[in-house]
Structure 1
Amino acid sequence: MKKLGYILFLLSWSACDVERLPEDALSDASFWKSENDLKAAANYLYTFLPVHGGDQYDNWSDDGFAVLANEISSGTRQIPATSAHFSTPYQLIRAANNIIKKSVTALESGVPAATVDIYVGEARFFRAWGHFQLVQKFGDAPLILDILTESSPELWAARTPRAQVIDAIYEDLDFAAEKTPTHAARAVANYGRITKTAAQAFKARVALFEGTFSKYHGK
């Protein structure tokens, strides 16, 4: 009986041990509980911002010249079989969607709604950024507004018309402009993070690009 009791103890201990959260990695069960968690997740989005410097992107304007024709500005770029210009924005979009969806956990954990909205606003700014990069290069592009799984039908869906993607971009930027603080409110501690005016300026840039494209392509 003593041996049987010891075996049962070991089995029950092992079962409890299996349910323990990993100590060497973060998990959803142990994350998304505080403002610092949201901020740490949002920090990753900023790594997708372009680096300043002279490269091929400097020629994306109507008065820029380079050795080769500019397919981006002319709207004649053909969709390649595979390209980081396609996959990288979707990495950003997925990270942004993850923050937006998991922000509910932060609310349930007691993080003030106004604080959560700031980081959701940042995420929606960057989701708009990712979708705009796709529209610039490919026109119609899959609009992804949720986290996908291996069985998500969006993985096999046709590309979303560019007008619908642009509308979603405007909605994201309107939310970001409403929920993120002003530059003055950000102050030194949060200098460089997305602000209300940054979202407004980016929306103006999107509108100028799309308006110009529509005008000169008979849309």
Structure 2
Amino acid sequence: MKIKSILKLGTLALLTAALPACSFLDTDPQIIPDDGYYNSEQKLIYGLAGVYGVLNSEALYGNYYSLQIANADDLCYFNNYNNSESRPDRYNHSAGTATIYDTWSKLYEGIKNANRYIEAVEKTEIDPGKLSVDIGLYIAEARFLRAYYHFLLAQAWGDVPLRVKATTSPNPNDVQMAATPQEQVLK
């Protein structure tokens, strides 16, 4: 019985040692440059997928927004209120709660992605004959997503900063914005 265990451990050790030598693990990072990337319809679709990407995160429809923040009303019932964990669905949270902060950050990440995508696609010099649909539809879809992210922010927080241009500078004057009234954000 011990010989089989030793053989299994030896085989596992050899496979573990050989795994780093596998070439399929050697990949180049995919960094999208600001200019000239969107030169085909496939790349336009990939870029738009990046704008949609935050919707699938745990901070939005993966858990926090859809199950904890949006359900924090009298129509939902959650058992186990004795837990001291800070969660919105248990009416035990503050602005510093990770759930709240992560949702806020992800929504603004989606807005950032949409702004960068819109600006890059507007500057692209792609031949309209190579596209199955008008390039304006890609831009319109990204604008809708940007508006939707702003809507979710205004719905949950009221007055929020309205960002319609990409922030490219770490200068505090460019990054920090005053809150825009909720009515204007919703328009």
TM-score range relative to shorter protein:
0.5 to 0.7
Counterpart check, 1:109 vs 2:129: no
Relative contact order higher in (CA < 8 Å, ≥ 6 apart): 2
**Per-residue deviation at 1:155?**
2.1
Letter of the structure 1 residue corresponding to residue 186 of structure 2: I
- Please tell me whether the aligned partners of residues 68 and 88 of structure 2 are also in contact (alpha carbons under 8 angstroms): no
Query: Residue 34 of structure 1: which of 31, 36, 40 is its match?
Result: 40
- What is the TM-score when the length of structure 1 is the normalising length? 0.52
Cα 1:56–1:45 change in 2 (3 A) is same
| Structure 1 residues 151 and 52: CA distance shift in structure 2, 3 A | closer
**C-alpha displacement of 1:141:** 0.7
Pairing partner for 2:137 from 98, 110, 118: 118
**Where does residue 175 of structure 2 map in the other structure?**
155
Kindly provide the CA deviation profile for residues 157-212 of structure 1, in whole angstroms up to 9, marking residues without a partner as x: 21111111111xxxxxxxxxxxxxxxxxxxxxxxxxxxxxxxxxxxxxxxxxxxxx
Equivalence map 1:1-219=2 (5 Å) = 25-49=31-55, 50-51=61-62, 55-57=67-69, 59-60=71-72, 63-66=75-78, 79-80=95-96, 83-106=101-124, 108-111=125-128, 115-148=134-167, 149-151=169-171, 153-167=173-187
Distance 1:157 1:28, change over 3 A: closer
Paired residue type of 2:76? G
Whole-angstrom CA distance in 2 between matches of 1:159 and 1:58: 22
Q: Distance in 2 between matches of 1:161 and 1:43?
A: 30
Q: Which runs of 5+ in 2 are unaligned?
A: 1-27, 56-60, 82-86
* Structure-1 separation of matches of 2:68 and 2:135: 37
**Cα displacement (A) at 1:80:** 3.4
Deviates more, 1:95-104 or 1:56-65: 56-65
Contact 1:131 1:143 in 2 (8 A): yes
Identity of matched residues, %: 26
Q: Is the 8 A contact 1:100 1:123 kept in 2?
A: yes
Secondary structure of 1:130's match? helix
Give the number of aligned pairs.
141
2:107 and 2:149 in contact (8 A); partners too: yes
Q: How far apart are the structure 2 equivalents of 1:86 and 1:128?
A: 15
Q: Which residue pairs with 1:170 in the alignment?
A: none
- Superposition TM-score, scaled by structure 2 size: 0.60
Retained in 1: the 8 A contact 2:159–2:180? Answer: yes
Q: CA RMSD in A?
A: 3.6
Amino acid at match of 1:47: G
Deviation, structure 1 residue 86 = 1.5
Contact 1:34/1:111 (8 A) holds in 2 = no
